[in-house]
């Protein structure tokens, strides 16, 4: 088999890239290790920057998102028992859109089917060959047979645990990492959201987040120790803990119900440089991870896709490789700003086991400054709605 761009990974990065390339007449095949049902079963991101929405429009897959997504003009921050609001639209001219990653992925798969894009599911043992030459290829196994896929370029969109990043030799790759001493216990429940906007809460018992997917589907998170297991958090315990971490006026009207999904995610900041090695280009979680506090993971994946797809169009349509040559530098410049913001928001809102009385006072001062300063609110808003590409 032969294609122009071989895409490893059928998550949001790989699918969005594939769709944008197809729209520009560039052939791309997606190799996905899991089944489609498995990929669509993962509950992850919920907040999209306008830049992401624009890319979905450019890819011709924004109809359902425009109908069913919720435009949020601001967010609420809870400090002990009080709330204050950051007004994104007034401060930056831009809102964010609440629309689940699961729905984004479903829309992209449906568009891919409709346009005849080829996706190989359950592609096992994907291996990258000759990425430093002009004729790279992949091998993979499926149904007990080994297959070969020749291509011009490889897009490594296979997430944090994928093989693409590992293919870059260790003496070339530089990894920067920070892990946090807690995780997020998250649940999804068929109940109306606690409030019309997201609430990020800093409480003495630790961080909590009230988010949503639609009018009758809510997503909540509480900070928990890394040693906790999902079994440690029966629904009753989760709701009681959440209520203690959010302002009393919100807790009083909170509608609780059985969880339909429950998971614990560790928090990590991670960047691998460079994002290009020969004809291999990394995109999304394959190259970088942020803690979810700033809602940046999926959105940084989208900015990588923006730079890579434009570079590939420039290569095929204008025979100009400048975009490909500058891909890593351009993508990383934006990534590091999202890393800084996510790290800052994580520090602002969580309780750290080793936090001293001094650290707590500084955190408090940071929050009070945010509550009272339009300049501080503008800085948060500008980063939350997404820095320009
Ligand atoms: P993905 O989604 O991990 O997809 C990678 C795909 O590659 C496949 N794969 C392979 N395929 C072939 N061969 C191999 N060897 C392979 N190895 C892996 C996998 O099966 C998978 O299908 O990466 P991608 O596409 O880069 O997308 C990144 C996003 O998924 C991620 O950044 C976000 O979910 C992060 N995130 C959030 N991002 C936001 O922008 N806003 C949010 O509100 C937000 N909330 C979150 C989040 C992530 C969370 N968790 C679970 C870490 C909330 C949570 C709790
Ligand atoms: C979510 O709805 O899953 C969500 C929202 C905002 C975040 C992280 C996760 O910062």
Region 53-74: what's the mean pLDDT? 96
Q: Could you tell me if the CB of 284 is within 6 A of ligand 2?
A: no
94 CA → ligand 1 middle, Å? 25
328 SS3 class: helix
* Mean pLDDT across 139-159: 97
Tell me: cis bond preceding 335? Omega within 30 of 0 counts.
no
Nearest-angstrom CA–CA distance, 143 and 121: 11
Q: Which residues contact 131 (CB under 8 A, 6 or more apart)?
A: 154, 167, 277, 278, 279, 280
Q: What domains can be seen in the chain, in order of their start residue? A: 5-72+96-177+268-345 (3.50.50.60), 180-266+349-385 (3.30.9.10)
Angle at 13 between CA 11 and CA 18, to 5 degrees: 95
Instruction: Catalogue the active-site residues.
Output: 72, 200, 292, 296, 384
Distances (CA, A) of 75 to 84, 180, 387: 9, 24, 17
CB of 193 sitting under 6 A from ligand 2: no
Q: Supply the pTM of this predicted model.
A: 0.96
Q: Is 47 in the pocket of ligand 2 (CB under 6 A)?
A: yes
Q: What is the mean pLDDT of the chain?
A: 97
Distance CA 171, CA 26 (A): 33
CA distance 37 to 306: 26
Pocket of ligand 2, candidates 186, 198, 263: which has the most ligand atoms within 8 Å of its Cβ, to mutate?
198
In sequence order, the 6+-apart residues with CB closer than 8 A to the CB of 227 are: none
**DSSP category for residue 294:** G
Average pLDDT over residues 170-199: 97
115 near 22, Cβ under 8 Å?
A: yes
pLDDT tens string 236-277: 999 999 999 999 999 999 999 999 999 999 999 999 999 999
Going by alpha carbons, the residue nearest to atom 5 of ligand 2 is 46
- pLDDT at position 42 over 90: no
Question: Is 80 a residue whose pLDDT tops 90?
Answer: no
């Amino acid at each position: 088999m032969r294609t122009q761009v071989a895409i490893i990974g059928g998550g949001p990065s790989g699918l969005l890239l594939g769709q944008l390339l197809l729209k520009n007449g560039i052939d791309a095949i997606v190799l996905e290790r899991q089944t489609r049902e498995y990929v669509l079963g993962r509950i992850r991101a919920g907040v999209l920057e306008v830049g992401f929405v624009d890319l979905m429009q450019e890819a011709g897959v924004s109809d359902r998102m425009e109908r069913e997504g919720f435009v949020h003009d601001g967010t609420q921050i809870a400090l002990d028992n009080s709330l204050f609001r950051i007004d994104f639209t007034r401060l930056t001219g831009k809102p964010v859109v609440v629309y689940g990653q699961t729905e984004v992925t479903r829309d992209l798969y449906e568009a891919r089917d409709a346009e005849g894009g080829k996706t190989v599911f359950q592609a096992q043992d994907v291996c990258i060959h000759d990425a430093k030459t002009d004729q790279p290829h992949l091998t993979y196994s499926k149904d007990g047979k080994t297959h070969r896929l020749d291509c011009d370029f490889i897009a490594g969109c296979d997430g944090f645990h994928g093989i693409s990043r590992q293919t870059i030799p260790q003496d070339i790759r530089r990894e920067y990492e920070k892990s946090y001493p807690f995780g997020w216990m998250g649940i999804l429940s068929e109940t109306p959201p606690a409030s019309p906007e997201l609430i990020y809460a800093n409480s003495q018992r630790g961080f909590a987040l009230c988010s949503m997917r639609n009018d009758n589907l809510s997503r909540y998170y509480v900070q928990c120790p890394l040693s906790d297991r999902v079994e440690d958090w029966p629904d009753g315990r989760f709701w009681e803990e959440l209520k203690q971490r959010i302002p009393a006026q919100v807790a009083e009207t909170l509608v609780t119900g059985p969880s339909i999904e429950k998971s614990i995610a560790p928090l990590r900041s991670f960047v691998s440089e460079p994002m290009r090695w020969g004809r291999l280009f990394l995109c999304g979680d394959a190259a970088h991870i942020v803690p979810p506090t700033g809602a940046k993971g999926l959105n940084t994946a989208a900015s990588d896709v923006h730079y890579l797809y434009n570079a590939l169009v420039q290569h095929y349509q204008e025979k100009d490789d400048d975009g490909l040559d500058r891909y890593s530098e351009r993508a990383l410049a934006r990534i590091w700003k999202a890393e800084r913001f996510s790290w800052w928001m994580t520090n602002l809102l969580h309780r750290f086991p080793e936090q001293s009385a001094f650290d707590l006072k500084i955190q408090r001062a940071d929050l009070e400054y945010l509550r009272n300063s339009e300049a501080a609110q503008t800085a948060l808003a500008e980063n939350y709605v997404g820095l320009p590409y």
